[in-house]
Structure 1
Amino acid sequence: METRRETSNSCGTICLKYILFIFNILFWLAGGAVLAVGVWTLVEKSDYINLLNSNFYTASAYILIAAGAVVIVTGIIGCCATLSEMKSLLIVYLVLLLCVFLLEIIAGVLAYVTYQECFPFCHQLDEELRQNLKMTMQHKYHQAGEDSVTQAVDKLHQEFQCCGSNSSSDWRDSIWIEATQYQQLVPDSCCKTPSILCGIRDHPSNVYKVEGGCVMKLEEFILSQLYILGALGIGIAVLQLFGMMFTCCLHHNLKDEPY
């Protein structure tokens, strides 16, 4: 009877080890995805973030990178604890899972409360940010020492197919437009088919006339990023629940087995 019980416990422990190991791989991949989104936002979209003249989105990218790194480290600890069958390491892993899960819950609650407080204006960027983007375009585009801003604005126009902060008419008060000798109305990057001096003609058939301008496009981009991160967060939270359950079961089985 004792031999049969030990065999049964061993089989159950082996199954739990494989399940928990697979979970840790999925958890590690989820952390890698969060880390990748943070790095991608910081590297590929940093120009747009700088145009908004706000540290909020840069801080968000760093938070994503830190969160992804924590999840990856937690997954690695989980793999080590599972393979080594060390009960003390399993407890450390369980505590880390619980801490990350609680932080996700707190962050979700705070986000919901913040959304409720600012509803129905949360779907729009703050007016100060709108004005910052407009002033940046009007006062820094094609100005000495502002090459990075000029490149970012041109890239923004072409990638999001928009023109100006709120509309193409924003360029009428641009320092560069007022100083140009070619009577250009908008930058050439506003043109649907960019070419030299194509911005002299700002007809809708020639330049992008998007309602809401580039601010609206940036808002849509930020919201899409939030949806992706929300989906990843829900997926990670579900994985954590299963992970904590399997970890407890494995710890219990290891405690009952002979050393």
Structure 2
Amino acid sequence: MAVSRGCLCCVKYLMFVFNLIFWLGGCGLFGVGVWLSFTQSQFSSLPLSFPSLSAANLLLVAGGVTMVTGFLGCLGALKEQRCLLMTFFVILLLLFLTEVSLILILSIYHKELDEKAKDDLVKGMKDYNKNNDLKDSWDNMQRIFKCCGVSNHTDWHNITGTPGQPPSSCCRPGTKPCHLWEEPCYEKAKNFLLSNITSVLVFGVCLGIVQILALAFSMLMYCQILRAEKYMD
């Protein structure tokens, strides 16, 4: 019984440590999501399929769920309650499977998702002269990323009110007549996101390993508590 209790105590503190790391990881993801939201706030009226905005929302949701799950795991470890441990295990397993599914979907259907995002942006351009917030978002994006249109400047044809004439934010500063930026905004935004995502991916892999260990320790602790309760009976 003393050996069993010693094993339970060891697993308990190991699980608490891993869940604390897991919770801190969730705080990190949430923080990156908040940072992206603030840095991309000038484009907030664009469709949510826009790469930077969708990444920010995804990180906010993932970080929030991870923080709640990590807290539940820490509480379950300290309280040594089978109900909390099983709830934690199920939620964490569902979270892990969801993450794996999203990675597979993004890997397999990335071209289709790119086309869908581009279509959403092009459709949204039709409200450029009707929606001031959308107008400001497009102008800010084109000035900051030094780009024009979703794929090229022809996306603006018949949208600005002057056929064939993109908005002034497409023009390079100090050029008269207007000298348009040639780079597409979608690719520029996507490349900006990818250039800053490497560290997030490494962080995500480490967090995934912690998730697997937390799953293993939670189930091990659940079995140890069950064995101890049977012994007491």
Q: 1:202 to 1:169 in 2, by over 3 A?
A: farther
CA distance in 1, matches of 2:219, 2:206: 20
Residue number in structure 2 paired with 1:181: none
Q: 1:190 to 1:96 in 2, by over 3 A?
A: same
CA distance in 1, matches of 2:62, 2:121: 29
Where do 5+ consecutive residues of structure 2 fail to align? none
Residue number in structure 1 paired with 2:138: 153
CA distance in 1, matches of 2:158, 2:106: 38
Alignment deviations for residues 154-191 of structure 1 (CA, whole Å, 9 cap, x no partner):
3213321334544567778674778xxxxx99626744
Deviation at 1:231, TM superposition (A): 4.7
CA distance in 1, matches of 2:191, 2:123: 18
Q: 1:214 to 1:88 in 2, by over 3 A?
A: closer
Matched residue count: 227
Residue number in structure 2 paired with 1:239: 210
Residue number in structure 2 paired with 1:21: 16
Deviation at 1:83, TM superposition (A): 0.9
Residue number in structure 2 paired with 1:128: 119
Please give the secondary structure, in 2, of the residue aligned with 1:200: coil
- How does 1:63-212 map onto structure 2 within 5 Å? 63-115=58-110, 118=111, 128-129=119-120, 131-132=122-123, 135-136=125-126, 140=128, 143=129, 146-167=131-152, 175=160, 187=168, 190-191=171-172, 198-202=174-178, 209-210=181-182, 212=183
CA contact (8 A) 1:185 1:202 kept: no
Q: 1:124 to 1:146 in 2, by over 3 A?
A: closer
Alignment deviations for residues 217-257 of structure 1 (CA, whole Å, 9 cap, x no partner):
12324555776665555333322211111122223333444
Q: 1:154 to 1:127 in 2, by over 3 A?
A: closer
Where do 5+ consecutive residues of structure 1 fail to align? 179-183
Give TM-score scaled by structure 1 length. Answer: 0.65
CA contact (8 A) 1:186 1:200 kept: no
CA distance in 2, matches of 1:172, 1:109: 37
CA distance in 1, matches of 2:95, 2:160: 50
Give TM-score scaled by structure 2 length. Answer: 0.71
Alignment RMSD (CA, Å): 3.9
Higher relative contact order (CA 8 A, sep 6+): 2
Using the aligned pairs only, state the percent identity: 25
Q: 1:60 to 1:18 in 2, by over 3 A?
A: same
CA distance in 1, matches of 2:103, 2:60: 18
